[in-house]
Amino acid sequence: MATAVVARPVARPQSRNRDEEVLVWPDLVFIEFIAAMVFTITLFALSALMNAPLLDQANADVTPNPSKAPWYLLNLQELLLHMNAGMAGVIVPTIWLVIMGAFPYFDRDHEGQGVWFGTEGAVRLTVVGSLVGFIGTWGLILWDSGKIAFFLNDWFGLSGGDTFRFLENVRSIQNQLPWPEWSRSITYLPFNLKILDQGFQHLDFPAWLVEQGIPTAVLVGLPALMIYAMWKLGWVVTRRDALIALFSGFIAAYGVLTLTGTAFRGQGQELVFPWELKVSEGIPGQE
């Protein structure tokens, strides 16, 4: 390595003459400053003199249906449909970003760094990991939207009746099971903390299970299960193998979430086909 550096000396930049240079300060910066001032003052004067014709766009009582974030945030919005808001919006993205940042500390092997598909089973791990992420995410979305139960009934005439109605989506586990009354309000603090909301002092177990418990179990458990199965099969040998499978699965899941939120969510965030998707402006009487 060292000889390679010596063999190809880096060309040193030639020093220029002063008259070949363009002054940035004050010439350029001053022009930019004047332009910025002119635009600021013009916009300020315009906004003071004229009302923007926002009309119903600025009417807080009017909500378009569906209401969607910019497309690059629709993965998060899709996540928000299925679990506790704080979890989907803050905790899950933060923890995942930290985990991704920790990848190089977990895989400290220098060999084969920067090489695409550097390990023996890398291509297989990438393909299978992506497929698991793709199918798994779609499966979970279809289940939580109630579509799996709907199509099982609609296409195959299979119905669990009232007995298995609780399996139709995640919320029905809370609504359709005969939870005992005490489980809806479990006091876990030995004293009464008045500054806390009642909901924080008493654990509503079915609600916790549906909004936090099951989503956490799925988000942690399914990738862990995938890695474990691949390790048992002998596909995952090194830490890098595990990370390749994990990251491929993440990219697929992320893509599915973005795509679903963008193209498959209609009015009321109902799962629809992209060609059935239409947006209502939400103006009362014109829905």
List residues binding another protein (CB under 8 A).
Answer: 60-67, 77, 80-85, 88, 146, 150, 165, 168-169, 171-172, 175-176, 199, 207, 211, 267-270, 282, 284, 287
Return the closest-CA partner of residue 56 out of 65, 47, 64, 46: 64
Pick 81 or 251: Cβ nearer another protein: 81
Q: Are strands 202-203 and 186-187 parallel, antiparallel or unpaired?
A: antiparallel
Pick 75 or 84: Cβ nearer another protein: 84
Pick 81 or 229: Cβ nearer another protein: 81
Tell me how far, at minimum, the Cβ of 55 lies from another protein, in Å.
Answer: 16
Tell me how far, at minimum, the Cβ of 269 lies from another protein, in Å.
Answer: 3
Share in percent of the chain as helix, strand, coil (round to 5): 65, 5, 35
Taking CA atoms, 11 is separated from 2, 3, 14, 18, in Å, by 17, 17, 9, 21
Pick 87 or 122: Cβ nearer another protein: 87
Tell me how far, at minimum, the Cβ of 63 lies from another protein, in Å.
Answer: 4
Q: Measured in whole angstroms, how far is the alpha carbon of residue 276 from the centre of its chain?
A: 24
Strand partners, 186: 203
Tell me how far, at minimum, the Cβ of 189 lies from another protein, in Å.
Answer: 19
Tell me how far, at minimum, the Cβ of 281 lies from another protein, in Å.
Answer: 11
Radius of gyration, CA atoms only, the chain: 28
Tell me how far, at minimum, the Cβ of 150 lies from another protein, in Å.
Answer: 7
Pick 223 or 261: Cβ nearer another protein: 261
**In a 3-state reduction of DSSP, which class is residue 271?**
strand
Tell me how far, at minimum, the Cβ of 79 lies from another protein, in Å.
Answer: 10
Tell me how far, at minimum, the Cβ of 135 lies from another protein, in Å.
Answer: 22
Q: Give the C-alpha separation, 283 to 287, whole Å.
A: 6
Pick 19 or 162: Cβ nearer another protein: 162
Pick 128 or 149: Cβ nearer another protein: 149
Q: Measured in whole angstroms, how far is the alpha carbon of residue 133 from the centre of its chain?
A: 13
Return the closest-CA partner of residue 210 out of 177, 235, 233: 177
Return the closest-CA partner of residue 242 out of 109, 137, 89, 58: 109
One-letter identity of residue 132: V
Q: Give the C-alpha separation, 140 to 222, whole Å.
A: 11
Torsion-angle region of residue 145: left (phi > 0), alpha (psi -120 to 50) or beta? Answer: alpha
Pick 211 or 241: Cβ nearer another protein: 211
